[in-house]
A and B are shown apart, each in its own frame.
Chain A
């Protein structure tokens, strides 16, 4: 029987939650990766390996890997750096993806490294050099910590040479030749601040693509929720009557391109769900209208925050939807968001939740 596995990156290590196909009873393992802060973890279905992007205040950045579904771990940062003579520093490895047989990792300060040997060694693939906006992140005065990085990498399932990289606070860029050339993909987005370039200067929090239609994308932006019907070439706002235009997490239904989920948050200092009432919002018509989903979620002083990589959806016939909070809870729904159950509490601050189905 297939297992459903949640990879939960937290401030105090990686946790793995497992269940059978019913996704009702869950067992938790962890903390893994020696309790290093884990920003993102993925399962590579092709190799069966798990990769975890981690950064320690003491010992720097590395990528952990496990070839036995998390029982044993090793890590390597060999080649994961800009070099002794480069003013750019890596403060953390933020996000992982697998594309064309390579493991990709996005880092802060912005850059993408690749590994062709399953995470044993790394080499620099691209810094998006020369792209509009790169003068900001390449400026030695703007080096991390406290500055911006690659917050997500999104492979194109139909083209092994194509993927999208999101530069935090700058926008999305697409490459179709595996990191050689890049094109900004932000046209039509809103920005409520001055920008130096027409094509960039947008704050893309989370971008997702429909598995049934590669041209259908959604994004939760710093300002608004947006939809693209042309693979990211142009965007239209669909915020509508959501209670907040601000949020981080987003997920698209695996079998229905019109169904999409967001978790609106207070845009101020709180960055929690409005009114202390936990809710996921769903559209079933591509953003034309929104439903508030609360059944099984706490409604009394539930000041929950959910970060950009902390919601995920599986590909079962009745898809499972999962999100983790900044206060260590994990909630799950196996009926498309109608009903929710808390499946973990008291975990460390959750930065990412990824779901994998493994045999």
Chain B
């Protein structure tokens, strides 16, 4: 199970969504699809049409900047960051 860390801007939008979620998925895209199945609408908050990761959302897998196709290992840590958006 990968350990997915979500930004604090996301959790108030979905009932019961914690900051950390354990997900069994082979890629970032699959992990987000799994999250969306559990919290419908979550995908739209992180991705825009394409699909691509939203410009100010950064995803890291084991501390490396990741894309939707990036592979996730069973013990990976996935960080989803709300980044660089001013004050």
CA distance A34 to B57 in the complex (A): 18
Does chain A have a CB within 8 A of B16?
no
A78 at the interface (CB under 8 A from B): yes
* Nearest CB of B to A166, in Å: 25
Interface size of A as a range:
10 to 19
Pick from A42-50, A56-64, A93-101, A203-211 the stretch touching chain B. Answer: A56-64
Taking the complex as formed, is A284 at the interface, i.e. its CB lies under 8 A from any CB of chain B?
Answer: no
Q: How many A-B residue pairs have CB under 8 A?
A: 46
Asked if residues B51 and A84 are in contact (CB atoms below 8 Å), the reply is yes
CB of A81 within 8 A of CB of B49, answer yes
Q: Does A75 contact B (CB under 8 A)?
A: yes
When distances are taken between beta carbons in the complex, the residues of chain B under 8 Å from A89 are 48-49
Contact residues of B between 7 and 36, Cβ < 8 Å to A: 7, 9-10, 12-13
Partner of A58, one of B44, B51, B85: B85
Nearest-CB residue, chain A, relative to B49:
A84
A116 to chain B, nearest CB (A): 19
CB contact list, A52-107 vs B, under 8 A: 56-60, 62, 75-78, 81-84, 86, 89
Q: Report yes or no: A58 in contact with B54, Cβ–Cβ below 8 A.
A: yes
Does B45 lie within 8 Å of A78, measured CB to CB? no
**Whose C-beta in chain A lies nearest to the C-beta of B85?**
A57
The chain A residue with its CB closest to the CB of B11 is A34
Contact B41 A58 (CB under 8 A): no
A58-B9 in contact given A84-B51, A86-B49, A89-B48 (Cβ < 8 Å): yes
B45: which of A60, A81, A82, A84 is its contact (CB, 8 Å)?
A60
Is B65 engaged at the interface, CB distance under 8 Å to the other chain? no
CA distance A261 to B13 in the complex (A): 39
Q: Is the CB of B48 within 8 A of A60?
A: yes
Q: Name the residue on B nearest A85 (C-beta).
A: B49
Shortest Cβ distance from A322 into chain B, in angstroms?
28
Report if B46 contacts A (CB, 8 A): yes
Q: What size tier do the contact residues of chain B reach?
A: 20 to 34
CB-contact partner of A59 in B46, B50, B83, B86, under 8 A: B46
| Bound Cα distance A176, B48 (Å) | 33
Give complex CA distance A86, B50 in Å.
Answer: 8
Q: Indicate if B82 sits at the interface (CB-CB under 8 A).
A: yes
Whether B56 sits at the interface, judged by CB under 8 Å, is: yes
CB-defined contacts of A81 to chain B, threshold 8 Å: 44, 48-49
- Establish whether residues A59 and B54, one from each chain, have CB atoms under 8 Å apart when the complex forms: yes
A178 to nearest B CB, angstroms? Answer: 25
**Whole-angstrom distance between the alpha carbons of A84 and B44 in the complex?**
12
Contacts of B12 on A, CB cut-off 8 Å? 34
Q: Quick one: which of A34, A82, A83, A84 contacts B13, CB cutoff 8 A?
A: A34
Do A56 and B41 have beta carbons less than 8 Å apart?
no
User: Which residues of the partner chain A approach B51 to less than 8 Å between Cβ atoms?
Assistant: 84
Cβ–Cβ contact A59 & B45, under 8 A:
yes
- Report yes or no: A77 in contact with B85, Cβ–Cβ below 8 A: no
Set of chain A residues within 8 Å of B7, measured between Cβ atoms: 58
10 A-B pairs with least C-beta separation: A57-B85, A59-B45, A58-B82, A84-B49, A58-B56, A34-B12, A77-B44, A57-B56, A81-B49, A58-B9
Binding site for A on B (CB under 8 A): 7, 9-10, 12-13, 41, 44-46, 48-51, 54, 56-57, 82-83, 85-86
15 contacts between A and B (CB under 8 A): A58-B9, A58-B45, A58-B56, A58-B82, A58-B83, A59-B9, A59-B10, A59-B46, A60-B54, A75-B13, A77-B41, A82-B49, A84-B49, A84-B50, A89-B48
